Structure 1
Amino acid sequence: RQLGENLAIFNPEDASRLVGQFGLGFLSAFLIAEDVTLLTRSYKEGSPTIRWHSAGDVHYNVSEVDDEIPIGTRVSLRVKPEASFLLSERVMVDTVRDYADFLEIPVHVTGGAPVNAMTAPWDSVDPELAMREYINRAFGQMAPLAIIRLEDQEISIGHDSITVPLEGFLFVPPGTVASIQEYGDVNIFIRRMFICERHSKLMPPWAKFVRGVVDCPYLQPTASREDIQQDDMFFRVQKALEEQLTQGLKRIAEEDPMNWKRIVRGHRNVIMGWAVKDETFFKEVMDIVTFRTPAGQKSLPEYTEETGGTIYYITREMGSQQDQLLGAGYGVNVIDASWFAEPTFLQRYAHMKPGIKLVKMDGDGSQLMQAVPEEDYYKILEYYRGQNIRARVVSFKPDDVPGIISYPKDAEFIKETRDALDRGEIPGPFASMVGDYMQRMNVDDAAMAGTLNLNANSALVQQLAEAEVSPSRDAALELIYQMARLFAGRMLDTVDVTHAFRMSAASIQNLLDEGE
């Protein structure tokens, strides 16, 4: 350590090439060796050869020997029997290539040519090709969307600034269909010596769509050399990486906007999840991220241009077909925002874009329904009242749909909580608290069963409104109700579904009997 500190003062360039701290590495030799012999000779003319020998205990022997060795140091290990597998040439070559492939010092195994490359990919004759080959070999990924080569980065620390020496590169992996795979990991080297792979704490927390290789002499390995110490320098390197990554992404966005779109859309869920936590990053991606609609993926600028500035969206997958059907009837694409970060993203977008209106359509899509006078429909409403079914007549699109079911806000939560209380799944002290909360909610039990919205635009509903009371009319009205329940796809357990099919079958049978 003292040698490194002195070199850093008097010869920074040599200090940057000093690999590790000899004591720790030397100590590790005794993990696999019965004993270790070290021969060393100074560069000074006439210097003797010094021999050091130890079996790994508190005793050691130092003596002058007559052996004439070249200037430098030779370390010999007599390997323990249980570690003899390490003497396999294949194992030794693989180990050298794993840990010392980038060292500028040649490493030989059983003579012959050096087995290490001695050149890092970013310093190769063709760095772009070499980095892509390394990405394929080390990360198992082909065709990265972008590669950002690292270089020294100046960062501010209080009223001063320092330059953090950086080598390596960051890259954006190809996008996936699911777009939920989080990365944000790097392979770490110190002075070209490999330390650890897939380290996930050095990268900024929002960069979960980026991977890479980082070589920085400011990083300090732990004693086991399997991780990095999280000291002050660690966080300075982290800051330098974040600034350089941000600059690199901005450069891609400005110089290659099509590729920037591929990056954002290829990793949309991960990017969106972090964008809602970081306003600066949000501004960079808010107009590029796409959302699912019945008409395909659309960015928010594309979508709002079609809707005149209104964003129609749903936040639950269950019932989404019904809500999207209502929207489609009015020529409106309803955004599927059922993934957890999407509603927050839309809300922030509307907040930052004056004139944008949000319409949440979960449950009933009431924003697209119009009230109508019910006098002409009193006979069919009377039928539903007799069946203890809440019903009303409204107009909505498309005209071919005779009726849909709507439920109160938080209906699923209320039902699931009640069921959990009934089954005793909530512990005693919490059960009473939850029960009190449910009472304070003042839930309308009749509304919990749902409201049937009959479509006044439907020719079938109009025909039934004029029809006389008869078994076939009642069967048709029952069938409309059960079809609406099943189509809503909400608030139904297996008993409810079975009952709905049974009633539908009975209604169809009544219609057939009436026809005979």
Structure 2
Amino acid sequence: MAVSLERTRVDLGGLMRVLGEHLYSSPSVAVRELVQNAHDSIERRRIEDPEGWASAERCIRVECDPERGRISIEDSGAGLTREEIVEYLATVGTGYTRRLRDASADAGLIGYFGLGFLTAFVVAERTEVWTCSYQDAAQAFLFHSKNGQQYGVEAAEARPVGTRVTLELRERFRELSQAHVLGSLVRRYCGFLRYPVWIHEEHVNQHPPPWRDTQLTNPIRRKRALLELAERFGIAFEPLCAIEVDGEACKGVIWIHAGSTYGTSDHRDVHVFIRGMLIGDEDRELLPSWAGFASAVIESEALHPTASREALQKDGVYEQVKAELREALIEGLGRIAEQEAATWRRVLLRHNEALLGSALSDSRLFDLLAEEVTLPTSHGDLRVKHILEKSQGKLHVSQTESGGFEELLFRALGVPVVHGIRFAALPFCKAYTDRVRGRLVLLGTGKGDSELFQRVELADAERRKLEQWFGREDVAVTPCRFAPKELPFVLVPDREVQLKRRIESDRADARISSAVLGLARQFTAQVGSRPSLKLYVNCDCPAIERLLDATPERAERGVRLLAPLVSLLSETGEETRLFDVETALRDFCAALCETLEA
């Protein structure tokens, strides 16, 4: 049986509605698309009619009439013949710009897909195109349509070579004909176009971006121009300093925010221009994930937009631009640190926590920041070198909230403890001790505790006394030596056991995904069954020494005084509370009164 080939039928009305109303996120992009078409028409004339292009005005004029609800965009470009109107203007998806670009590989052209003109039918009740081609300057035409599905073409009165598009806006889009609205859109989208763009009497792109300004040869003036551009775009986050981007795939500026950030703050925003036309300002992924304190404006001739021209294709060029921005930011931070000491101090002051995280992402950043950033400690924010000076070359890191045995013990010793639960603090300490110097002591772990508490072998009778006096259910009593000797004991939670119990609880099933929970339980399965609290009794403490040597009667009175101090000195929360504070105070007062009366 022979197979017949049939043509696919198209519901033109449905297709126009989908492409026109749903391809773009906002009807306001109609202004951008029509200005872009005007730009490409001038570029076409430059390529095909260089003499006419040289003598023409070579500009784009945008006008509005709010009373009649009209906007118009006029150019001095190549114009269209009647045949070109039918083939390109009235045919969806066929654009002359694409053919011209494919033929000439000219980087000055912006458009490609042949869909931008559809936006006119979304916002306009009636669309008119007055055009005269350089190929026949004596003949002009008028194209008009109400919905894009039907159109008319007729001869028109003579006019200069070029095109004028006029939109009679639908009622709900008449706001676009307001001068301040239209002006804001034109300035936003067209500020970097190479050809002059006028909205009434305002020249909106009079000044090229610094990387295209051949007059900006003075380094100081260039730096000032970059900062001014950053101020123009940094409405939400004003610039503290600016870094020029001079890559193969993109040019532009990155600026560091003047406002302070935290480690988890992510205020990245990137304005992307392709050949002078704004594509979008939400491509934050172009900046490194650790650079939540930075924003950028870039221009590229290599990036590829999607069909809507409101997003970028995530292709190899996209990755190249990401790499160039990363390199520019890292090298720029290095130059600021080396050449602008005052600015560098302000960067560190405002973004210290975020920079802690960034130091872990690149060895150059680590080398730059390792001795500059501060760590959150029990003594305030300190640089690593100051912590090491006060702790005999060790970085003591707590993995709990403030309080606990760490605060008690190290306050008495005058040693700062790093708050390891703060953003990037623990990983930074690990990296520093691995790459530079010092020894890492993780408090609350078996290995960390062994650094602090030197175990003591006591006679069985003395060990049993300590367990009888101070032991409780779920508390392991360990005789040892530690400083300061005036501290009789320290109650330490076993972090590994506590983690095991949390992971194995029923509530963990509801909070953690099964895959992650399974991996966590594989780890905690290695933790044996043991008490969750460790009471280290200081055998160097004179009170403990006297207690062990005392008669049973005197020892009992001493224990009644000391035992409540376990809770009072080591209070850290419900998990490590042996008995409540009220009970501890009551027992201590009662024991003291009995001692005084004896």
**Same fold, TM exceeding 0.5?**
yes
**Distance verdict in 2 for CA 1:144–1:432, change over 3 Å:** closer
Residue 118 of structure 1: which of 206, 218, 221 is its match? 206
Q: What SS does the corresponding residue of 1:24 show, helix, strand or coil?
A: coil
Letter matched to residue 43 of structure 1: Y
Contact 2:118-2:148 at 8 Å conserved across structures: no
Find the aligned partners of 2:423 and 2:327 in 1 and give their Cα distance: 28
Find the aligned partners of 1:305 and 1:359 in 2 and give their Cα distance: 15
Greater Cα offset, 179-188 or 378-387: 378-387
Residue 335 of structure 1: which of 405, 418, 422 is its match? 418
Find the aligned partners of 1:45 and 1:85 in 2 and give their Cα distance: 37
**Distance verdict in 2 for CA 1:402–1:34, change over 3 Å:** same
Pair 1:476-2:476 in alignment:
no
Pair 1:57-2:148 in alignment:
yes
- Kindly provide the CA deviation profile for residues 201-226 of structure 1, in whole angstroms up to 9, marking residues without a partner as x: 22344544321101112223222222
Pair 1:508-2:585 in alignment:
no
Partner of 1:346: 429
Pair 1:326-2:409 in alignment:
yes
Structure 2, gaps ≥5 residues long: 1-94
| Counterpart mapping for 1:37-436 below 5 A | 37-43=128-134, 46-65=137-156, 67-109=157-199, 111=200, 113-114=201-202, 116-120=204-208, 122=210, 123=213, 128-129=223-224, 131-140=226-235, 144-151=239-246, 153=247, 163-164=248-249, 166-174=250-258, 176=260, 178-256=262-340, 259-260=343-344, 262-264=346-348, 266-304=350-388, 307-317=391-401, 321-339=404-422, 341-353=424-436, 356-362=438-444, 365-372=449-456, 374=458, 381=466, 383-384=468-469, 390-420=476-506
**Distance verdict in 2 for CA 1:349–1:369, change over 3 Å:** same
Contact 1:394-1:454 at 8 Å conserved across structures: yes
Find the aligned partners of 1:483 and 1:382 in 2 and give their Cα distance: 19
Task: Determine what percentage of the aligned residue pairs are the same residue.
Answer: 25
Letter matched to residue 186 of structure 1: V
Find the aligned partners of 1:513 and 1:295 in 2 and give their Cα distance: 39
- Kindly provide the CA deviation profile for residues 63-95 of structure 1, in whole angstroms up to 9, marking residues without a partner as x: 222x23222111111211222222222222222
Contact 1:186-1:211 at 8 Å conserved across structures: yes
Q: What SS does the corresponding residue of 1:297 show, helix, strand or coil?
A: strand
**CA positional deviation for 1:411:** 2.3
**CA positional deviation for 1:38:** 0.5
Greater Cα offset, 427-436 or 271-280: 427-436
What is the number of residues matched between the two proteins?
Answer: 490
Letter matched to residue 97 of structure 1: R
**CA positional deviation for 1:108:** 4.3
- RMSD of aligned residue pairs (Cα, Å): 4.0
**Distance verdict in 2 for CA 1:423–1:192, change over 3 Å:** closer
Contact 1:475-1:508 at 8 Å conserved across structures: no
**CA positional deviation for 1:197:** 1.1
Q: What SS does the corresponding residue of 1:481 show, helix, strand or coil?
A: helix
Contact 2:444-2:494 at 8 Å conserved across structures: no
Greater Cα offset, 243-252 or 377-386: 377-386
Find the aligned partners of 1:40 and 1:272 in 2 and give their Cα distance: 60
Structure 1, gaps ≥5 residues long: 154-162
- Kindly provide the CA deviation profile for residues 208-267 of structure 1, in whole angstroms up to 9, marking residues without a partner as x: 432110111222322222211223332333333333333333333433356445535643
Pair 1:25-2:137 in alignment:
no
Contact 2:565-2:584 at 8 Å conserved across structures: no
What TM-score, normalized to structure 2? Answer: 0.70
Partner of 2:77: none
Find the aligned partners of 1:296 and 1:141 in 2 and give their Cα distance: 30
Contact 1:103-1:116 at 8 Å conserved across structures: no
Q: What SS does the corresponding residue of 1:58 show, helix, strand or coil?
A: coil
Partner of 1:156: none
**Distance verdict in 2 for CA 1:387–1:324, change over 3 Å:** closer
